[in-house]
Amino acid sequence: MHVTKKIKIVIFVPETHSDAVRQALGDAGGGRIGTYSHCTFTTKGTARFLPEAGSHPVEGHIGTPEQVIEEKIETVCDREHLDAVVRAIMDAHPYEEPAIDIYPIEEIDRL
């Protein structure tokens, strides 16, 4: 195995904006696998957070615990497109502090 030029990106986004985020990241070059584009995998879950003073929550109110149904979107990206893809995600995402995880991917040699 060896580290490739691919990155795994994981984004947590409210259901209301998940299609827009998927479209934006694909249009920016994310989600390419072979001859396919806009490839993602989604799971749903509940996000919980407490907006604190100075925040500007899209959902909920400062000082009140909140729950939102969100989608966890997973995709891949070539390192060369990473900055553009992250910028596109940030532009399409409604939160002021979106949760975005970025991981290197190890490639398995095909036999």
- Ranges of each domain in the chain: 2-107
The CATH number of the domain covering residues in 2-107: 3.30.70.120
Residues of the chain with pLDDT under 70: 1-4, 109-111
Q: 24, 87, 74, 22: which is closest to 45 by C-alpha?
A: 74
CA–CA distance, 62 with 58 (Å, rounded to integer) = 11
CA distance 34 to 25: 16
Beta bridge partners, 42, equal 73
pLDDT value at position 5? 83
Instruction: Specify the pLDDT at position 4.
Output: 66
Q: Give the SS3 label for residue 29.
A: coil
